[in-house]
Amino acid sequence: METAKRKWWHDKVVYQIYPKSFYDTNGDGIGDLRGIIAKLDYLKELGIDLVWISPVYKSPFVDQGYDISDYYGIAPEFGTMEDFDELLAEAKKRGISIVMDLVINHCSDQHEWFQKALADPEGKYGDYFYFREGKDGKAPSNYRSYFGGSCWEPVPGTDKYYFHAFAKEQPDLNWENPQMRQELYDMINWWLDKGLAGFRIDAIINIKKNVEFPELEPDGPDGLAGYHLAVEQTSGVGELLEDLKHNTFEKYDAFTVGEVFNMHDGELPEFIGEDGHFSTIFDFSAHCLTEGERGWYDAPELDFKAWRKALVESQLEVQEIGFKANIIENHDEPRGVSRFLPEYARNEAGTKMLGTVSLLLRGIPFLYQGQEIGMQNCVWESPEEWDDISTKDQYKTARGAGLSRDEALRVCARMSRDNARTPMQWSGDSNAGFTTGTPWMKANPNCSEINVESQQRDAGSVLHYYQKLIALRKSEEYKEVFTYGQFAPAYGEQDHVMAFYRSMESSGAASGEGTAGKRILVAANFGQDSIELPLEYQVEKVLISNLPKNHAGERLTLAGCGVMVLECGEKAAV
Ligand code: TEU
Ligand code: CA
């Protein structure tokens, strides 16, 4: 893999913005495009190359913009197309490129296509969606949508239903229809012509349907089967993804990151190999460990060893094939600090440790807004505080399974998507400095302790640490090894240690050109107590360390929640 063809995006660091919660410039309580423009210098200073912005298209916001009613329009809540063009231009001035969210498995029920389809299901637009007749007065099949309830919604006044994998306001587009596909491709190319660097591609595995919609074995008391089970049994998505790529991204050398769950075994090369469907896909292997029986409200506790194993196995597999996009959190997930760190580690040291591991793995690092200051899950006082459609569904499911109001509140609070959607914490002021008005979603009360303003003043802060970490990853000297260096796990027999080498063979040494070989050790102690480890190699240099008590000499001493990144020299004498 080290010698494989190099792509322009291999060494980039990406930052995800959830625009509604990022920064509000006009006091309406909703983040906006001008808010992103205002913070570009902040992102530049952090070291960001690419910014992925969650959907900003026109939308009724049933699922926070993942229900698009006009693919060519900017939601007025966020601003105008002029604002968007200005954002592109201002970002470019700072060497930052923009990646948009591409939501093409479904659109909004308010989209013109769907409105026309409803008016005339037999007409041209009817075939842009999946309309089917019911069976024996019931839905065409027993699938449960991702947000709860049937995947089939009856069309009033007819014997027909339409299909939706997510909310009923998000009808699925019929990818078997070439005319529909062409309309999407034209739209994608129109955006790429504006100068986007690429797209993050939403829920894309769902586009391929078994159009017979066979009945499945129920997996819950509602008699329905989760739609992901149908996805797992469906093949042929690859052909559609190749068609998409050839007609759009490929012509622009665009960067594409797929949101892919439920891939079949052995398909990774087709997805992200040299000529794969996408540049990269997210590595969700650690996130999938907390899937529950009935969704995510009943998520099991995270086990450190299982987490380590999942990451290590994923890294070992992917390095023979391509690059994955590494995240600890995104807009659908609780905060990484609250999820992947034990309670005693949810502090500055632990936060830096988790960030170091995530950013120095092999792959494309993605940061989610607020991660760089160590934002944490919110304290939720009542289910009424939640806005998210999925959280509301899981709360209902939990109550239905017999949990009391308080129990259901507690379990859903742990995994709610709204943990990631509270306003970005710019300062300790009221509403976290996010808005001068009333925020659409409450700010996390801990903004008085965790915020950008105070961390900018403190040289030892999480924010400054992230800046240093990104600068290290991108430095002339170490860029090569952190981008292309092999991953090898280390100290796997130690109970609380997550450690790995990144190493690069020297190349072209004979001709006097090429690069010198390098070996880096990243070692993190997720335990509470200090540990001492033998060192396999002599220590050339400490590249970064999160605690003064960490020490690397003859042996490696890591304080509880300590992490060190070391450049290795010759093999140590034993
Ligand atoms: O998510 C797709 C998805 O399958 C999971 O995120 C999951 O179903 C969800 O988190 C359940 O809680 C994407 C977007 O990231 C998400 O925000 C959208 O709601 C969804 O697609 C529909 O567009
Ligand atoms: Ca606003």
pLDDT tens digits, 116-126? 999 999 999 99
Dist. CA 10–CA 46, nearest whole Å:
18
Last residue of a domain, one of 399, 431, 465: 465
Contact 109, 182 (CB under 8 A): no
Whole-number CA gyration radius for the chain: 24
Which ligand is in closest contact with the Cα of 33?
2
Same domain for 201 and 149: no
With H, G, I as helix, E, B as strand and everything else as coil, classify residue 131. Answer: strand
- Mean pLDDT, all residues of the chain: 96
Residue 152, domain CATH: 3.90.400.10
Range of the domain at 331: 14-105+178-211+256-465
User: Does 192 have pLDDT greater than 70?
Assistant: yes
Least confident of 45-49, 516-520, 533-537: 516-520
Last residue of a domain, one of 409, 434, 465: 465
Which residue's CA is the nearest one to ligand 1's atom 17? 332
Average pLDDT over residues 137-144: 96
Contact 238, 288 (CB under 8 A): no
pLDDT for residue 299: 92
Which residue's CA is the nearest one to ligand 1's atom 21? 203
Per-residue pLDDT tens over the stretch 494-507: 999 999 999 998 87
Which residue's CA is the nearest one to ligand 1's atom 9? 332
Contacts with 313 (C-beta within 8 Å, 6 or more apart), sequence order: 285
User: Does 2 have pLDDT greater than 60?
Assistant: no
Per-residue pLDDT tens over the stretch 247-285: 999 999 999 999 999 999 999 999 999 999 999 999 999
Same domain for 281 and 136: no
Specify the residue for token string 């260096």: 485
Average pLDDT over residues 156-160: 93
**pLDDT tier at 3, thresholds 50, 70, 90:** low
Average pLDDT over residues 194-216: 98
Q: Cα of 530 to ligand 1 centre, how many Å?
A: 39
User: Does 515 have pLDDT greater than 70?
Assistant: no
**pLDDT tier at 573, thresholds 50, 70, 90:** confident
Task: Evaluate whether residue 477 is within a structural domain.
Answer: no
User: Does 61 have pLDDT greater than 90?
Assistant: yes
Q: What is the pTM of this model?
A: 0.97
Same domain for 308 and 452: yes
Structure tokens at 466: 């992230």
Same domain for 70 and 163: no
End-to-end CA distance of the chain: 32
Q: Judge residue 541's burial from the number of C-beta atoms within 10 Å of its C-beta, 0-12 exposed, 13-18 middle, 19 or more buried.
A: exposed
Contact 258, 278 (CB under 8 A): yes
Same domain for 342 and 290: yes
Same domain for 133 and 100: no
202 lines ligand 1 (CB under 6 A): yes
Dist. CA 254–CA 258, nearest whole Å:
13
Per-residue pLDDT tens over the stretch 298-308: 999 999 999 99
Least confident of 42-51, 166-175, 507-516: 507-516
3-state secondary structure 399-452: HHCCCCHHHHHHHHHHHCHHHHCCCCCCCCCHHHHCCCCCCCCCCCHHHHCCCH
Task: Evaluate whether residue 266 is within a structural domain.
Answer: yes
Residue 552, domain CATH: 2.60.40.1180
Query: What separation in angstroms does the CA of 355 have from each of 126, 327, 358, 377, 468?
Result: 48, 10, 5, 16, 11
Query: Which segments of 327-401 are extended strands (E)?
Result: 364-368
Q: At what angle do helices 178-193 and 237-247 cross, to 10 degrees?
A: 40
Per-residue pLDDT tens over the stretch 449-473: 999 999 999 999 999 999 999 999 9
Structure tokens at 162: 């339409």
Dist. CA 218–CA 559, nearest whole Å:
49
**pLDDT tier at 513, thresholds 50, 70, 90:** low
368 lines ligand 1 (CB under 6 A): no
Query: What separation in angstroms does the CA of 241 have from each of 63, 72, 180?
Result: 24, 22, 14
Per-residue pLDDT tens over the stretch 231-243: 999 999 999 999 9
203 lines ligand 1 (CB under 6 A): yes
**Number of domains comprising the chain:** 3
Mutating to test ligand 1, I would choose from 66, 147, 228 the residue with most ligand atoms within 8 A of its C-beta, which is: 66
Query: What separation in angstroms does the CA of 457 have from each of 349, 446, 454?
Result: 18, 18, 5
Same domain for 286 and 260: yes
66 lines ligand 1 (CB under 6 A): yes
3-state secondary structure 48-102: CCEEEECCCEECCCCCCCCCCCEEEEECCCCCCHHHHHHHHHHHHHCCCEEEEEE
Same domain for 142 and 40: no
User: Does 517 have pLDDT greater than 80?
Assistant: yes
Please pick, among 83, 259, 333, 348, the residue that the annotation labels catalytic: 259
Task: Evaluate whether residue 333 is within a structural domain.
Answer: yes
Q: In the β-sheet with 531-534, what is the strand arrangement from edge to edge?
A: 531-534, 555-558, 551-552
Q: Cα of 284 to ligand 1 centre, how many Å?
A: 13
Phi then psi dihedrals of residue 201, to 5 deg = -110, 115
Residue 444, domain CATH: 3.20.20.80
Same domain for 539 and 446: no
pLDDT for residue 334: 98
Task: Evaluate whether residue 382 is within a structural domain.
Answer: yes
Same domain for 301 and 157: no
Task: Evaluate whether residue 8 is within a structural domain.
Answer: no
Last residue of a domain, one of 465, 498, 518: 465
Position 556: which residue type? L
Please pick, among 101, 109, 202, 393, the residue that the annotation labels catalytic: 202
291 lines ligand 1 (CB under 6 A): no
Specify the residue for token string 């996805």: 231
Task: Evaluate whether residue 474 is within a structural domain.
Answer: no
Task: Evaluate whether residue 271 is within a structural domain.
Answer: yes
Active site residue 259: yes
Dist. CA 435–CA 27, nearest whole Å:
6
Strands 198-201 and 255-258: parallel
Position 529: which residue type? D
Specify the residue for token string 């709610």: 416
CB atoms within 10 A of CB 537: 15
pLDDT for residue 512: 56
Which residue's CA is the nearest one to ligand 1's atom 11? 390
Per-residue pLDDT tens over the stretch 86-117: 999 999 999 999 999 999 999 999 999 999 99
Which ligand is in closest contact with the Cα of 59?
1
Contacts with 541 (C-beta within 8 Å, 6 or more apart), sequence order: 566, 567
Same domain for 424 and 526: no
Same domain for 216 and 200: no
The secondary element (H helix, E strand) that includes residue 525 is strand 518-525
Active site residue 11: no
Structure tokens at 229: 């089970």
Task: Evaluate whether residue 2 is within a structural domain.
Answer: no
pLDDT for residue 509: 53
Strands 70-74 and 97-102: unpaired
